Structure 1
Amino acid sequence: MANVDTEARLDFADRGKTVVSYRRKEFRRAVHSLIASRWALIGMLILFAATFIAVFGPWLAPFDPNRQNIMMRLMEPGAEAARNGTYWLGSDHLGRDVLSRLLYGARVSLLVGVASIAVGGTLGTLLGLISGYFGGWIDDVIMRLGDIQLAFPFILLAIMFLVVLGPGLVNIILVLGIGQWITYARIVRAQTLSLREKEYVEAARAMGDSLFSILFRTILPNIVAPLTVIASFNVASVILSEAALSFLGLGVPPTVPTWGSMLSESRDHLLANKWWLAVFPGLAIVFTVLAFNIIGDWLRDFLDPRLKERD
């Protein structure tokens, strides 16, 4: 009996070492692939910079983003402030510092992007697993609900819900998240339909594993890769949607600076050649979205099993 226990422990230890070795190998491969792909490295650096700004923006901002000074309105970039300080990126029509609002706006834009994907991805993955595993009328109901939602333009649907619910950070996250669920549900459903007939799933059923264990421990780990790629692309599209809704006045409250609201406030001053009001928040959106798209392309190639075998 003691020999059996000893062999079991040794076997468990060997498996643990194998898993650790595999993870280290994959990590080294990821670092090598990231360095080899210059664009992916640039995208990662941009994303790290945006995340750093979002986290430490309140400490980096030279002014209160909502502090108004009408006497210093529409100052050009580099102008001296009334008190000690400099408007490095200029001031807006209310005399607020553009740089400070840009730093604070990074937090809202990234939070909305990541949180909306978390909401939509979780809901879509759960419904996709249920739809693909059970099939039948459950599958029909879930997929028809998705088809009904896709029949409406997404931005129009978001505007309709925000008009009813009212603007706000939580509301915009929920609306943008719910608007993304069908993308994940369709991908997960297609993968689950294929995987539910595999031998290891049949073995899990034969061993008496619970439904939760089969769905989330046997099937879900095998479909994480495509979900990760889709999520990286969707974050970029959600950030653009948030900017569009904020531009229309349906985003977060006016006291919360966002890149979209900064663009909205700049439109009345573009003809007066106050270019900095639109250029800087526009560039922030462009570079952030571009970084997520580049990382999405890299993840798609890195997780491709055909390329993995080639490496």
Structure 2
Amino acid sequence: MSLSPETMTPVRAGVLKRLRNRPTLRGAGILLAILVALALLAPVIAPQNPHDLAALNVMDNRLPPGAASLTGTTYWLGTDAQGRDMLSAILYGLRTSLMVGLSATLGALVIGVAAGLVAAQFGGAIDAAIMRIVDFMLGFPSILVALVLLSAIGRGVDKVVLAIVLVQWAQYARLMRAAAMVERRKEYIEAAVNFGLPTRHIMLTHLLPNAIGSVLVVASVSIAGAITLEATLSFLGVGVPITQPSLGLLIANGFEFLLSGEYWIAVFPGIALVLLIMSLNLVGDRLRRSLNVRS
């Protein structure tokens, strides 16, 4: 049974109404928009470039929040052991964490969708081979695989993105294959095959648009998972380099000073990371529920 435009209009209107009537989603969306804006505008609004060694002063190391330096500069969130302004470091770290999370999720989504689509379309030995690889990848903990990969290829933002892509693509491949298999049994796909349309045309213009919806919803939730995985890897010392710190690495750098009372070096980046992951999870989860017509 196909849905006509007249039938789809009330459905879309109902979805929009559910989105508007969810205050939690609105609040999380506003918070996420603010965090993304701060990350994008970090080079403009940050009081200091924490990546510029010439801008750092060792004499300003570990100053408490609100303290002023010898030059009169006020550090509202304090400084770390290298004399970096924590506010500036958090803004740049937020930028790095978001970039890694979005890039890794997009890369894993592209590879996973392509693999699942090919497996569903061709079936047989190709399907079996792809699914065995997927089962193998999903049989190991993501953090363990990422740790092994980064131990072999070294640290770096691009290497962290590659490692997360390699441990996340399999879940998208399985979801895409399942959704595409359902679509392949429908009449419009059978009609396209009977009309003699090329396989690539059927896959890209018929199968992909109708099967990718559920995968995109899962991807919106998985961005937070990618950021969490990057933060964990950086905290363990195998993630992003010290010259381009993320929120996870900032937390790791300040962890050793917690017992000495210099809490702000680790706590403030931790609060920023919690707010980012919480807003991403809430937005992704609420979107999933709101876009599910059955709910």
TM-score by length of 2: 0.92
Measured in 1, the distance between the counterparts of 2:8 and 2:66 equals 52
The amino acid that maps onto 1:306 is R
Displacement after TM superposition at 1:148 (Å): 1.5
**Which residue of the partner structure matches residue 244 of structure 2?**
256
Counterparts in 2 of 1:23 and 1:286: CA distance versus 1, 3 Å: farther
Map of 1:62 onto structure 2: 47
User: What's 1:139 paired with?
Assistant: 127
Which residue of structure 2 aligns with residue 244 of structure 1? 232
Match of 2:35 among 36, 43, 50: 50
Counterpart for residue 190 of structure 2: 202
Q: 1:270 aligns with which of 236, 242, 258?
A: 258
Which residue of 1 is the match for residue 23 of structure 2?
38
Compared with structure 1, are the counterparts of its residues 176 and 205 closer, same or farther at alpha carbon in structure 2 (3 Å cutoff)? Answer: same
Query: Corresponding residue for 1:8?
Result: none
The corresponding residue for 2:284 is 296
Q: For 1:187-226, list aligned pairs within 5 A.
A: 187-226=175-214
Deviations along 1:281-301, whole A, 9 cap, x unmatched? 111111111111111221112
Instruction: Find the counterpart in structure 2 of residue 99 from structure 1.
Output: 87
Determine the C-alpha separation between the residues in 2 that align with 1:54 and 1:239: 14
3-state secondary structure, aligned to 2:256: helix
Identity %: 37
Query: Is residue 179 of structure 1 aligned with residue 167 of structure 2?
Result: yes
- Give yes or no for contact 1:65–1:257 (8 Å, CA) kept in 2: no
Q: Please report how far the alpha carbon of residue 269 of structure 1 lies from its aligned counterpart in structure 2 after TM superposition.
A: 0.3
Q: Quick one: structure 1 residues 36 and 96, their matched pair in 2 at CA, closer, same or farther if it must change by over 3 Å?
A: same
1:252 CA displacement: 1.8
What is the RMSD computed on CA atoms of the aligned residues? 2.0
Post-superposition offset of 1:232 = 1.4
Q: Are the aligned partners of 1:74 and 1:93 in contact in 2 as well (CA < 8 Å)?
A: yes
Which residue in the other structure is 1:75 paired with? 63
CA deviation profile, 1:116-154 (whole Å, cap 9, x unmatched):
011111101010011112211111111111122223221
Q: 1:24 offset after TM fit, Å?
A: 11
Select which of 258, 265, 269 maps to 1:281. 269
Runs of 4+ deviating beyond 3 Å: 21-26, 28-32
CA distance in 2, matches of 1:215, 1:150: 25
What stretches of structure 2 of length at least 5 have no aligned partner? Answer: none
After TM superposition, the score normalised by the length of structure 1 is 0.88
In the alignment, does 2:72 pair up with 1:87? no
Larger Rg computed on CA atoms: 1
Q: 1:117 to 1:23 in 2, by over 3 A?
A: farther
| Displacement of 1:25 | 8.2
- Does the 8 Å contact 1:78/1:86 carry over to 2? yes
Tell me, in whole angstroms, the C-alpha distance in 2 between the residues paired with 1:185 and 1:208: 27
Secondary structure (helix, strand or coil) at the match of 1:40 reads helix
The answer on whether the counterparts of 1:102 and 1:257 sit within 8 Å (CA) in structure 2 is no
3-state DSSP class of the match of 1:269?
coil
* Unaligned stretches of 5+ residues in structure 1: 1-14
Q: What is the aligned partner in structure 2 of residue 166 from structure 1?
A: 154
| Displacement of 1:22 | 6.5
SS in 2 for 1:284: helix
CA contact (8 A) 2:179 2:212 kept: no
Conserved in 2, the CA contact under 8 Å of 1:75 and 1:90? yes
Letter in 2 for 1:102: I
Alpha-carbon separation, structure 1, partners of 2:11 and 2:294: 17
CA contact (8 A) 2:176 2:212 kept: no
The count of aligned residue pairs is: 289
Secondary structure of the 2:197 match is coil
* Cα contact 1:225–1:303 (8 A) shared by 2: no
Residues 120, 98 of structure 1: alpha-carbon distance in 2 compared, 3 angstrom cutoff: same
Output the CA distance in 2 between the equivalents of 1:45 and 1:23: 27
C-alpha contact 1:62 1:85 (8 A) present in aligned 2: no
User: 107-116 vs 223-232, which deviates more?
Assistant: 223-232
1:77-100, Cα deviation, whole Å (9 max, x unpaired): 111123242111110011110000
The structure-2 alpha-carbon separation of the partners of 1:23 and 1:282, relative to structure 1 and needing over 3 Å to count, comes to: farther
Residues 13-56 of structure 1 show CA distances to partners (whole Å, capped at 9, x for unaligned) of xx9xx69x968983x65553333101111111111111101111
